Amino acid sequence: MFIDSHCHLNFPELAENLGEVLENMRRSDVGQALCVGVSLDKFPQVLALAEQYENIFASVGVHPDHELDAEPTQEMLVRLAQHAKVVAIGETGLDYFRLKGDLEWQRIRFRTHIRAARECGKPLIVHTRAAAADTLRIMEEEGAEQIGGVMHCFTENMEVAEAALAMNFYISFSGIVTFKNAVVLKEVARQVPLNRMLIETDAPYLAPVPFRGKVNQPAYVKHVAEEVARLRGIPLEEVANATTENFRRLFHVL
Ligand SMILES: [Zn+2]
Ligand SMILES: [Zn+2]
């Protein structure tokens, strides 16, 4: 069985075909999925999915690309995270690729999420793009290693992976690892300890080969696992078992 550790089932591309998307999950042995929150106003949609489906979990956070969104407070995040199906805080982090200019607000927002995670005892889902040094620095300054979490949709090198691993974070591979030109990332997928990696789709985005360019869905997470298994020269089953166990250990779910 596989678990999709990061997807956005409430986004229209998936929500409009939810029945089919969930049926495809079943048929592809994707037993569970974490539907990650990206804004406070869409959080009720995320939570509703987690409440309706036993095998769907939720997280609460405001994405670093959402410049104009209502700013979450630490207290607000902690309160929303009290729900039993909310297993993490995020996604949060830094993105210097999508937005330019003075991004101090992103760094402040990231710190708020780390403080909330530490207060409520739930792990972090960290998004980092073109901002690895600042992401790691803020994680260190805010004591993120005390709560841990996952570096989702990892696209950095082994040095960044090692720094994150040292702070009790897991490394999550997305469909990007199946792309031919992802040479550095494929090397990371060979080296990250098996007991510290997760797999994800980030659906509806980033569909793995052979679906590249199409709408992604949790069922496709199997293709990420297949590429990791191929790169490491181990059976697919070993990747499936390890990433499933890792997911359950990190997010405290059965
Ligand atoms: Zn992300
Ligand atoms: Zn995401």
103 φ, ψ (degrees, to nearest 5):
-105, 25
Residue type at 173 in one-letter notation: F
Crossing angle, helix 132-141 and helix 158-166, to 10 degrees? 10
How far apart are alpha carbons 151 and 84 in whole angstroms? 23
**Mean pLDDT to the nearest integer, 84-108:** 96
Where residue 216 falls among pLDDT bands split at 50, 70, 90? very high
Where residue 139 falls among pLDDT bands split at 50, 70, 90? very high
**Mean pLDDT to the nearest integer, 139-161:** 98
pLDDT above 70 covers a percentage of the chain that reads 100
Q: How far is the CA of 64 from the centre of ligand 1 (A)?
A: 9
Using alpha carbons only, how large is the chain's radius of gyration in Å? 17
Q: How far is the CA of 7 from the centre of ligand 2 (A)?
A: 6
pLDDT of residue 194: 98
Q: How far is the CA of 91 from the centre of ligand 1 (A)?
A: 6
How far apart are alpha carbons 104 and 109 in whole angstroms? 9
Q: How far is the CA of 36 from the centre of ligand 2 (A)?
A: 6
**Mean pLDDT to the nearest integer, 227-231:** 98
How far apart are alpha carbons 25 and 12 in whole angstroms? 17
Strand partners, 59: 88
Q: How far is the CA of 125 from the centre of ligand 1 (A)?
A: 8
How far apart are alpha carbons 21 and 86 in whole angstroms? 21
Q: How far is the CA of 127 from the centre of ligand 2 (A)?
A: 8
> Cα dist. 139→161, 167, 177 in Å?
13, 8, 25
Q: How far is the CA of 107 from the centre of ligand 1 (A)?
A: 15
Phi-psi region of 135 (alpha: psi -120 to 50; beta: other; left: phi over 0): alpha
pLDDT above 90 covers a percentage of the chain that reads 99
Q: Which two tokens stand for residue 116?
A: 């909330």
pLDDT of residue 20: 98
Where residue 254 falls among pLDDT bands split at 50, 70, 90? confident
pLDDT of residue 159: 98
Q: How far is the CA of 65 from the centre of ligand 1 (A)?
A: 9
2-7, strands of its sheet edge to edge: 2-7, 30-35, 56-60, 86-95, 124-129, 149-151, 169-173, 197-199
Could you read off the pLDDT of 26-83 as tens digits, one per residue?
A: 999 999 999 999 999 999 999 999 999 999 999 999 999 999 998 999 999 999 999 9
**Mean pLDDT to the nearest integer, 166-188:** 98
Ligand nearest to the CA of 201: 2
